[in-house]
Structures are given as C-alpha cells and as structure tokens.
Amino acid sequence: KPKVVVVGRSNVGKSTFVRLMTGRKDVKVGKRPGLTLKINEYDLGDYILVDLPGFGYMSGLPKNVQEKIKDEIVHYIENNADKIATAVQIIDAKSFFEIVRRWDERGEIPIDLEMFDFITDLKISPILVVNKMDKIKKEDWDTVLDGICEFFKCSPPWRQWKFIVPAVLKKGQGIDEIKKRIKERVDLFKKLKV
C-alpha cells in the first residue's frame, strides 16, 4: 500500500491533523510537544498514514536529540521513497516568518525549507498545509500565503499552486481539501506503479 507521510515542526498541529484523519482519540494533542518520537502508521484503506515525529526546536530538548530526530525522519523518507505517494508538510502560519527570520540571521537554511527540498528532490510532491490561519486577519491571508509561496520557491499568486492548502485544523477547516489532494496523489501513484 502507498504511504502518506506527515511532517512538520513540533506544535504546528500535526497531532490535530492525524486525529482528524484517523478519528482516533488516542493521538495526543498539545501539552507535551515532540513527545511522539515513535513513528506511528495508520491504515486508512487506500493508503497508510505515517505520523513522523515533529522536528526542530523544542524547549528542553538538547540540540543533539533534535538532530537525531531529524536524521530519523530523513532516513525513514529515504528508505521508503518508492512507497511514498505524497507528504503532508504542515507549517504554522503565524510563527512561520518569525522562525524563518531567526534561521536567516544565523545564516542557516530554515529546517522547513530543508525538509521541503529534501522531499521534492526524492520526486515526492508534497502538500503544504498552512495551519492556524485563524491567527491571521482575513484581509492578510493572501499576503501571508503569497509570502509562503515565494519562500518555497513558487511565484505568487499562491492560488495557482494546488499544493498549498490554508487550514484551521483545530476547527477541521481545510481537511476536505487536504483529503482531496491526498486522494489525487494516491490515485496517480497507484496508476504509475502498475
């Protein structure tokens, strides 16, 4: 069965997403970010949803542990590349630019972009979920999404790119669109594999 991997920095709403997709109440949301170091796989019928650990900075987590988690994610994706139909990468609309600015000041490539590039280099076409859009004023949506679009090396307007999906996962908003995008990619993947 094809796999759909879920990636994102900790606290972006990854558990909220996995819970919406699986309907399972035992997926932990909030409180202790990054605690899910285990790789959880859920059989959703057409595909396997793979919940990968959250990456990047987490308070109280030593740098070497962060690196270890990132390596684990990278290895999983590399080793399973031929089975992965798509990756759902989630970012937090509100804190995204702040985080990017901090990485930029240190002269480093932001981990979100690094992950995105890594995935696309493996010929996996990701779905970029821009979560927590409720924290952005409605009139600023297009500006924020265009900015994110440019950051991921796509020219605005963001709407022309079908891989960007704004969402308020806390309220279930955007989930149908994400499911639609996943289905398109899973169907295409199955067609190409036979």
User: Is 86 or 131 the residue whose CB approaches ligand GDP more closely?
Assistant: 131
Q: How many residues bind ligand GDP (CB under 6 A)?
A: 19
Under rule CB under 6 A, residue 54 binds ligand GDP:
yes
Least distance to ligand GDP from the beta carbon of 81, Å?
23
4 torsion bin: left (phi>0), alpha (psi -120 to 50), beta (else): beta
Under rule CB under 6 A, residue 12 binds ligand GDP:
yes
Residue 174 exposure: Cα atoms within 13 Å on the Cβ side? 22
Under rule CB under 6 A, residue 13 binds ligand GDP:
yes
- Rounded distance between C-alpha atoms, residue 112 and residue 118, angstroms: 10
Least distance to ligand GDP from the beta carbon of 178, Å?
12
Contact (Cβ atoms closer than 8 angstroms) between residue 17 and residue 174: no
Q: Residue 44: CB partners within 8 Å, gap ≥ 6? A: 21, 22
Owner of token pair 């265009």:
146
- Rounded distance between C-alpha atoms, residue 25 and residue 22, angstroms: 9
Under rule CB under 6 A, residue 135 binds ligand GDP:
yes
Under rule CB under 6 A, residue 181 binds ligand GDP:
no
Taking CB under 6 A as the binding criterion, the range among 12-20, 107-115, 148-156, 176-184 that sits at the site for ligand GDP is: 12-20
Cα separations in angstroms, 144 against 97, 137, 190, 191:
9, 10, 34, 35
Least distance to ligand GDP from the beta carbon of 175, Å?
10
Under rule CB under 6 A, residue 14 binds ligand GDP:
yes
Least distance to ligand GDP from the beta carbon of 15, Å?
3
- Rounded distance between C-alpha atoms, residue 128 and residue 15, angstroms: 16
Interface positions with ligand GDP (CB under 6 A): 8, 10-16, 29-30, 33, 54, 131-132, 134-135, 168-170
